[in-house]
Structure 1
Amino acid sequence: MGSSVASPAWARVWRSSSRRPRRLAPTVPGSGPPSTEFELGTDLVQKTKWAEALAAFERAQALRPHAVTLYNIGACQRAMGMYTVARETFERALARSAAEGKGELAASLADQTRTFVTEIEGLLARVKLDVRGAEGEPTSVTVDGRPLLARGPGEYVAGVRAPGLADAVPGRFTVAMNPGHHVLVVHREGAADGVIALDLRAGESSERIVDPARLPASIRVTSNLEAVVTINGKDAGPTPLDIQRPAGVYRIVLEREKFEPYSMSIDAKPGKPVKLHATLVPERVPITKRWWFWTGIGVVVAGAAVTTYALTRPDPVRPPLSGGGLGWTVPVQ
């Protein structure tokens, strides 16, 4: 397919794929001489050096923004097969021309821009995604390492945004992509990434279901001395212990003979490691369990009993005196 690029003079260039001449539109009307970068971009287009021409037009746009320069940028992107971003650029050119009120794009160039947008709509491949569990947990999607751009409810486009953090997406939506090979990654906290390799033809529509697998929690238990570990009352083995369990709350207890038991509750998150280190201390034997305690208690109790008896026993009653054969008694003062 041919590609029109606005140039500072009426010229003829050849598209490398078609080798057919195309008549170019004039440059920015009534805005003075074009910038050096703009002229450079036009010359590079004539040599079908699209990537270099694109860079030159982008520099020209940064120096002097104009709808015609945006059109040229979109034309280069289209020639390079960057259809999703070219559509965005063409739409920006039309919007700027209309907003300025002066019609920066000539009527013929505006018509050509709209024709390109319609053409690209038919070239884009579309994939309907059904991401299981996305409604309940934040889920993001990238295509070729780039986050998606939302164009409307349930409608996204790939290849437009710069690499970076991706926004949360709904459970079901459609993403438009350039034809060709792509790698789509579905990411959710606590789940294994869902990776889909796509080979898409121009205008193709397909559907994909992605169900990111929920990851188990990884639990590592260590201690200063070897001990037996129980998790929720079930024997899990000696320390050091590495074990995986479904996400959830667990009661972990470490026990060793003659040492105080160590216990702790953890909230294990999916896909997240939990590290627990226990310091066991010698068992503190209660005083009531020591032999000398009860021996001493026995001595004290026995002594207390003797003392109590001595203090509380009644005085003995003296028997009546006998006067012998004469019946005499002598009182003692």
Structure 2
Amino acid sequence: MKRWIMAFAFFLSWTPCAAMADDTELAREHFERGVALLDDSQFARAVIELERSLAIRETAPVLFNLGLAYRGVGRYLDAIQRFRRFLDIRHETKHREMANLATTLIQELEAALVHVEVEVMGDATLVRVDDRAVARGDGTHRAVLDPGSHVFEANRDGYVPARATVVLKAGARERIVLDAGETPKPSHITVETRPAGAEIWLDGKLVARGRYEGQVTSGTRRLRVAASGYESEARSLRVGPGSRQQVSITLTEATRPVTKEWWFWAGSAAVAGATVLTVILLQPEEESPHAGSLGFVTEALR
């Protein structure tokens, strides 16, 4: 049956063409090689030759045989497309039997396709199936695929792509859930300080002196830079998922308290001495108690 289909398709494709241009001759060569490979069940190689023939010249038999080759390598969606195109351009009389077979094959292939619902959440920006963009944003996205292994992916900037690899059998119906916001990418920060040896504290831990470069988790990070003789500086850093930040901090030299200056204490001592002397000099002389006429002390009676 298979060999009869190939021979029949070959005959109908090229018999009417007596005088051909060079490109048509090349199309014939690819077609002949494709049919031979298809008859030998070398479907992948047959696909290559028949696609080359089709790129040069579209004929109903080329489309039909290419549909058979796609079916052989498991590319059911492509096979259905080629069979339908064959039915569109076929000759009503000459291709009647091939048309009946193409219709039957389309029905069989459609029944073997897999239907997938992909539930996406987490503020996704792009949804991919087998590295091909199929939708944008959160929601329920539907896909009709060939049986086999497929990779589903939801992307969001700053986050590790949510990915699921699933092997789907012919005719399967599957539901897949992807959370694009599940795993933030690590963030990267660089901190440089002046003076060069200043301590760098991150979230309460001493992480470096002078310069720090490393990965941190997203969120609010507490940064403090300190050095002897300088005013320390503290900052809150808002770190986004997968972001890169560079921070430069120049500390201000600490102002020396007036109480630490030598002249402050020397001056204070002089002022204190002068105050004491003034108090002594201004204090009135102590009066002697007044003696009464009878020789008693009368001071207390005043």
TM-score (norm 2): 0.66
CA-to-partner distance for each residue in 1:56-102, whole Å, 9 max, x for gaps?
Answer: 1111112213343222212101022221332233344445x28xxx8
Partner of 1:215: 184
The equivalences for 1:25-44 within 5 A come to 26-27=12-13, 30-32=16-18, 35-44=28-37
- Would you say the 8 A contact 2:13–2:60 is kept in 1? no
Kindly tell me: are residues 292 and 87 of structure 1, through their superposed partners in 2, closer, same or farther at Cα, counting changes over 3 Å? farther
* Structure 1 gap ranges (5+): 12-23, 151-166, 303-333
DSSP-derived class of the 1:10 partner:
helix
Partner of 2:154: 186
Kindly tell me: are residues 85 and 196 of structure 1, through their superposed partners in 2, closer, same or farther at Cα, counting changes over 3 Å? same
Kindly tell me: are residues 181 and 253 of structure 1, through their superposed partners in 2, closer, same or farther at Cα, counting changes over 3 Å? same
The equivalences for 1:138-157 within 5 A come to 138-143=125-130, 146-147=131-132
1:25 CA displacement: 7.4
1:281 CA displacement: 4.6
- Would you say the 8 A contact 1:6–1:71 is kept in 2? no
Partner of 2:197: 225
Partner of 1:122: 111
The answer to which of 57-66 and 189-198 deviates more is 189-198
Partner of 2:72: 79
1:283 and 1:251 map into 2 onto residues whose CA distance is 22
Kindly tell me: are residues 227 and 113 of structure 1, through their superposed partners in 2, closer, same or farther at Cα, counting changes over 3 Å? same
Partner of 1:172: 140
The answer to which of 175-184 and 76-85 deviates more is 175-184
CA-to-partner distance for each residue in 1:306-331, whole Å, 9 max, x for gaps?
Answer: xxxxxxxxxxxxxxxxxxxxxxxxxx
Q: Alignment length, in residue pairs?
A: 255
Normalized per residue, which structure has more helix? 2
- Would you say the 8 A contact 2:200–2:225 is kept in 1? yes
2:53 and 2:257 map into 1 onto residues whose CA distance is 90
CA-to-partner distance for each residue in 1:25-66, whole Å, 9 max, x for gaps?
Answer: 732574556711112212222222222221111111122133
Kindly tell me: are residues 170 and 28 of structure 1, through their superposed partners in 2, closer, same or farther at Cα, counting changes over 3 Å? farther
Report the AA paired with residue 291 of structure 1.
E
Partner of 2:240: 269
Over the residues paired in the alignment, what is the CA RMSD in angstroms?
Answer: 4.0
Partner of 1:131: 120
Partner of 2:294: none
CA-to-partner distance for each residue in 1:230-250, whole Å, 9 max, x for gaps?
Answer: 56xxx3444347563444x65
Report the AA paired with residue 117 of structure 1.
I
1:193 CA displacement: 2.8
2:202 and 2:167 map into 1 onto residues whose CA distance is 50
2:248 is the alignment partner of 1:278: yes
Partner of 1:159: none
- Would you say the 8 A contact 1:179–1:201 is kept in 2? yes
Aligned with 1:57 (options 50, 53, 76)? 50
CA-to-partner distance for each residue in 1:194-253, whole Å, 9 max, x for gaps?
Answer: 33232322111122222241316435454432424356xxx3444347563444x65644
2:79 and 2:100 map into 1 onto residues whose CA distance is 16
1:122 CA displacement: 0.5
1:266 CA displacement: 4.5
2:236 and 2:86 map into 1 onto residues whose CA distance is 60
Report the AA paired with residue 112 of structure 1.
L
CA-to-partner distance for each residue in 1:276-316, whole Å, 9 max, x for gaps?
Answer: 35354561637978838979xx8xxx9xxxxxxxxxxxxxx
Kindly tell me: are residues 113 and 139 of structure 1, through their superposed partners in 2, closer, same or farther at Cα, counting changes over 3 Å? same
Amino-acid identity (%): 20
